Amino acid sequence: MRYPEEELIAALQGSGVDFTASLPCEKIKSLLVMVAGNFPHVPLTREEEGVGICAGAALAGRRPALFLQSSGIGNMINALLSLTAFYELPLALFISQRGIYREKIEAQLPMGKGLPKLLRGAGIPYTLIHAKSDLSRIRKRLDEVYRKNRIHAFLMSPAVWEGSCILEPPAALCPVAHTSRVAGTARSQPRLTRFGVLETIAPFLEGRAVVCNLGFPSKELFHIRHQPSHFYMLGSMGMATPIGLGISLAADKEVVVIDGDGSVLMNPGTLATAAAFGGPNLTIVCIDNGSYGSTGSQPTLTGSCVDLELVARGFGFRQTAKVAGKREIREIMRKKADRVRFIHALALPGNRDLPPIPLDHIAIKRAVLDYLSTG
C-alpha cells in the first residue's frame, strides 16, 4: 500500500505534470520534499509570484502545478482571474486546507472555512480531498485541467496525511544559513539561533511597542519576556513591518518590529514604504536564519543569494547594520537612531519547543491598544 504522498506524486506523473512551484506548509512538508525531488520545482516567496511563473511555464507548453496553504489564496486571487483564467492557461492548485481539521492556529480558521465560498465566488472549480480515499479523484480532474486549459483547486485536508511517512529533507534542501557571500559585502557568521537573538534583544524592548512575526518568533518572545506592549502576530505572514510602520506613524511611541527573512521576502516592497515614511521611532530587526522556521524549516533564498541588508539599502534605508553575535546586537540596540533603521540579525536555523501563547487574539489586541493609548 502506497503512502498518500506517493499516490499524489503518481497522479501528477500520470497526468504529465512537468513544472511545479510551492510555498511551504508544515502539514504537507513531506509532500513538498517529494515534489521537489520528482519534478522541476521553484520555491516561491509569495503566492502571486507563483501564478505568474506558472503562467509563463504554461505559455512555454508546460503543465504546471502550484502547492500552497489556504491562507495564501488571498495573495493571488486577482492574478488567478486576470492572468491565468483570462488567458485560458492551465493551472492545478494543490491547497493545504488549514483551519478545518485539528487546527492549532486560530488565525487559520477564517480562510480555511471560507475558502470554498471564496473559490465559488471567483468561479474556480474545486475538489475536496478530505480523506486518503479521495486521492483517486485527482487524476481525472488533472487531465481536464491540461486538456481544457482551466484552473482547478484541490482542497487537501491535513487528515489525508495523518499517520503517513515523515520524510526529512535531503541534504541539498536543508537550510544552511548564509553559506554564500554577496560580492562586496561583509557577512558575519551567525552564532545564535533566533531564540538566542531574542534573548539578547529582550532587555532593549522595555517601554517600546513591539510587533513580532508570527509562529515560533512570537512564542519565543512571549516565553523570554512578555509585555502588554507586544503585538504577537498569529497570522498574516508578511505584515509585521507594515503593522509596525502604521503604529510608528500614528502613535508617539518607540516601535520595534521583529521580522524574519521569509516574511520580508514575501512582502519586500514594504521596505520602500518604511524607508520613505518611517521616522527615528521605528526600528526593524529582521532575524534571518535562512529558513521558514514555522513551516518545517524549508530554506529561504537568504541562505544562497539574497542579502537583506543590501535589499533594505536599495529600498532607501540609510541606517542599516548586519549583526550576528551578542556583543554586536547589544551595541546596535543601544545606539540612538536619528532616522528609521534596519537591523539585519543573522541567526542559525532552529526553533525552541514551546507551548502556544496563553492569550487569545482579542486579549493581545486590547493590551496593545491600552498601551498605545497611554501618554
**Which CATH number does the domain housing residue 92 bear?**
3.40.50.970
Cβ 255 vs Cβ 248: under 8 Å: yes
Residue 114 and residue 178 in one domain: no
Bigger pLDDT: 344 vs 52: 344
Beta-ladder partners of 209: 255
- Look at residue 192 and tell me whether its pLDDT is greater than 90: yes
- Look at residue 196 and tell me whether its pLDDT is greater than 50: yes
The pLDDT confidence band at residue 103, using thresholds 50, 70 and 90, is confident
- Look at residue 130 and tell me whether its pLDDT is greater than 50: yes
**Considering the domain boundaries, does residue 306 fall inside one?**
yes
Cβ 5 vs Cβ 31: under 8 Å: yes
pLDDT of residue 185: 45
Residue 238 and residue 148 in one domain: no
**Considering the domain boundaries, does residue 198 fall inside one?**
yes
Residue 115 and residue 236 in one domain: no
Residue 24 and residue 114 in one domain: yes
Residue 150 and residue 250 in one domain: no
Residue 154 and residue 184 in one domain: no
pLDDT of residue 44: 83
- Look at residue 64 and tell me whether its pLDDT is greater than 50: yes
pLDDT of residue 1: 65
- Look at residue 324 and tell me whether its pLDDT is greater than 90: yes
What average pLDDT does this structure show over 278-288?
96
Residue 19 and residue 145 in one domain: yes
- Look at residue 169 and tell me whether its pLDDT is greater than 70: no
What average pLDDT does this structure show over 116-141?
95
Domain end (from 138, 161, 184): 161
- Look at residue 41 and tell me whether its pLDDT is greater than 90: yes
What average pLDDT does this structure show over 290-311?
87
The pLDDT confidence band at residue 57, using thresholds 50, 70 and 90, is confident
Cβ 150 vs Cβ 90: under 8 Å: yes
- Look at residue 262 and tell me whether its pLDDT is greater than 60: yes
C-alpha cell at 221: 518572545
Domain end (from 135, 161, 187): 161
The pLDDT confidence band at residue 375, using thresholds 50, 70 and 90, is low
The pLDDT confidence band at residue 177, using thresholds 50, 70 and 90, is very low
Cα–Cα distance, 187 to 312 (Å, whole number): 15
C-alpha cell at 347: 541567526
Residue 218 and residue 312 in one domain: yes
pLDDT of residue 170: 46
- Look at residue 129 and tell me whether its pLDDT is greater than 90: yes
Q: What is the mean pLDDT of the chain?
A: 89
What average pLDDT does this structure show over 138-154?
96
**Considering the domain boundaries, does residue 27 fall inside one?**
yes
**Considering the domain boundaries, does residue 169 fall inside one?**
no
User: How many structural domains compose the chain?
Assistant: 2
Cβ 95 vs Cβ 69: under 8 Å: yes
Query: Which domain covers residue 145, as residue numbers?
Result: 4-161
**Considering the domain boundaries, does residue 106 fall inside one?**
yes
What average pLDDT does this structure show over 320-324?
95
* Cα-to-chain-centroid distance, residue 274: 20
**Considering the domain boundaries, does residue 167 fall inside one?**
no
**Considering the domain boundaries, does residue 206 fall inside one?**
yes
Cβ 195 vs Cβ 220: under 8 Å: yes
Residue 364 and residue 225 in one domain: yes
Residue 247 and residue 340 in one domain: yes
Cβ 342 vs Cβ 240: under 8 Å: no
- Look at residue 183 and tell me whether its pLDDT is greater than 50: no
Residue 239 and residue 295 in one domain: yes
The pLDDT confidence band at residue 53, using thresholds 50, 70 and 90, is confident
**Considering the domain boundaries, does residue 324 fall inside one?**
yes
**Percent of the residues in the chain that have a pLDDT greater than 90, as a whole number:** 67
- Look at residue 152 and tell me whether its pLDDT is greater than 80: yes
Residue 144 and residue 192 in one domain: no
Cβ 325 vs Cβ 57: under 8 Å: no
Most confident of 103-117, 252-266, 296-310: 252-266
pLDDT of residue 84: 92
Which residues, 6 or more positions from 217, have their beta carbon under 8 angstroms from its beta carbon?
Answer: 194, 198, 258, 260, 287, 293, 294
pLDDT of residue 168: 53
In the chain, which ranges are continuous DSSP H helix?
A: 4-14, 29-38, 47-59, 77-79, 109-122, 138-148, 194-201, 216-224, 240-250, 261-266, 269-277, 308-314, 326-334, 361-373
Mean pLDDT check: name the lowest of 19-28, 125-134, 163-172: 163-172
pLDDT of residue 182: 45
The single-letter code of the amino acid at 78 is N
pLDDT of residue 333: 96
- Look at residue 341 and tell me whether its pLDDT is greater than 80: yes
**Percent of the residues in the chain that have a pLDDT greater than 70, as a whole number:** 93
Find, among 97, 162, 103, 104, the residue nearest to 129 by Cα.
Answer: 97
- Look at residue 122 and tell me whether its pLDDT is greater than 50: yes
Domain end (from 105, 139, 161): 161
